[in-house]
Amino acid sequence: MAPIRRLVLDVLKPHAPSKVELAREVASVSGVSGANALLLETDRDVENVRLVVEGDDIDVEAVEHRIVDLSGTVHSIDEVVAGEQMVDSRDIPQDWLPP
For each of the domains in the chain, give its residue range(s) and CATH number, in order of start: 4-82 (3.30.70.1340)
CA distance linking residue 13 with residue 1, whole number of Å: 31
pTM: 0.85
Quote the pLDDT of residue 88: 75
Contacts of 76 (CB under 8 A, 6+ apart): 9, 10
pLDDT digits over 14-70, tens only? 999 999 999 999 999 999 999 999 999 999 999 999 999 999 999 999 999 999 999
Looking only at the bridges linking them, the beta strands covering 46-55 and 73-82 are: unpaired
